Structure 1
Amino acid sequence: MNTIWNNLKEAAINSFNALGLAWWVEIITQNPRCTYYFGPFLNADEAKLAIKGYIEDLETEGAQGIQVNVKRCKPNDLTIADDLGERLDRKVKPAFSGQM
């Protein structure tokens, strides 16, 4: 039953994301100057639950000046490195695939 639920949830997330209605966690760091997008999520509550893990990972990597927003959007790039003028693409993973 869990597999069926996960498949339905993934389909819903993909549909919401295609329409720009999915929720994303946007994290902006001052050092390095980067913007990261994590998601997509089906709702804001699921996105908020994942924030702690993303912040811990970035702090472990030495990021400083971290600002977090949860919003509906459809980012073109998942990582924008302002310091380097680069746009890096990560593979999108649904929220329920262990990103927490």
Structure 2
Amino acid sequence: MNELLTGFLSSIGLAWWVEITTDSPRCVYYFGPFPNKKMAQSHQSGYLEDLEREGATNIKIMIKRCKPSNLTIYDEKADAGFNKMPGVLSGQY
């Protein structure tokens, strides 16, 4: 029954999601859906640990109601530009 409710809430954009943004890689991740905010909050630490273990930096977490069209959004252009800045991660000064 819970999965049916969560599916319905997700289809109309009222399900809860954990939105995580990172600077490196330059991504937005969506984890969910969850039937309520409390359940989403209870799962966020596991997602955070996974991203930290993978080396993600400047991680920001937001719990919100939404209907993401993609679960991972990678900003390849911004990520490539950030890594090519002189003196930043390139070893050039």
TM-score by length of 2: 0.81
**Which residue does 2:65 correspond to in 1?**
72
**TM-score, scaled relative to structure 1:** 0.75
Summarize deviations over 1:32-84 as a string: whole Å, max 9, x none: 10000000000000000001000000001000100000000000000001135
**Alignment size in residue pairs:** 78
Q: Which runs of 5+ in 1 are unaligned?
A: 1-7, 86-100
1 or 2, which has the higher strand percentage?
1
What's the C-alpha RMSD, in Å, of the aligned pairs?
Answer: 1.1
Structure with larger Rg: 2
Matched AA of 2:66: C
SS in 1 for 2:76: coil
In structure 1, distance between residues paired with 2:35 and 2:75: 28
Structure 1: 4+ residue segments shifted above 2 A = none
Unpaired stretches in structure 2, ≥5 consecutive residues: 79-93
